[in-house]
Structure 1
Amino acid sequence: MDSMTIIAVASIVTAGLTLGIGVLGPSLGEGRAVAKALTSLAQQPDSAQAITRTLFVGLAMIESTAIYCFVVAMILIFANPFWNHFLAASGG
């Protein structure tokens, strides 16, 4: 295997692991947040507006972590900085 193939395989595997592991935490966190919000809504229906607003802000913050992982994976696949480094070192 040449160096270009090793970089490609490492990039794809790393992107897959980034998405797999990086989305696992936020998805569990979102599920737990929604479950707690529903419990809170059931116990105090008068506070529904405040609980819902806070829930959506929290979900947006949690989801941003998964989006960052997606962006890192896309950079590794489509705009990998190691490609340019390797090409410059090999003279190509």
Structure 2
Amino acid sequence: MFAQLFLVRATSMERSQLRVVILSLAIMLLFLCAQGQAKYSPGFTAQPGHASSPAPLPFPMYGVTPGSLHPQECPGRCATRCSATAYKKPCMFFCQKCCWTCLCVPSGTYGNKQSCPCYNIWKTKRGGPKCP
């Protein structure tokens, strides 16, 4: 913006000199950016003698430890948890309710509630476990 205002009032000789200076600065800036990027961000280089390592295994306790799940993952985990019961609808309802609060689902289809303590805290009015 400033350069455009200056160019309007400048003579043709000053305009051409200013354009050369601006163009030179732009080229220098591009060159410096390219140098800095090449210097500080190493690209992939295959090193001889080193085999590429396999992808790391996911965290083994993911979804089992309290707070490790995202709410959108609850239906899938609860489907696994409730797969062996004859009462799928109530199991899924309460499992998802517990999962959305605790953000974890114990492994397996029964028991293992020690891995997700929040499951043991919730009780029904009669004192029984609320979470399957």
Q: TM (normalized to structure 1)?
A: 0.38
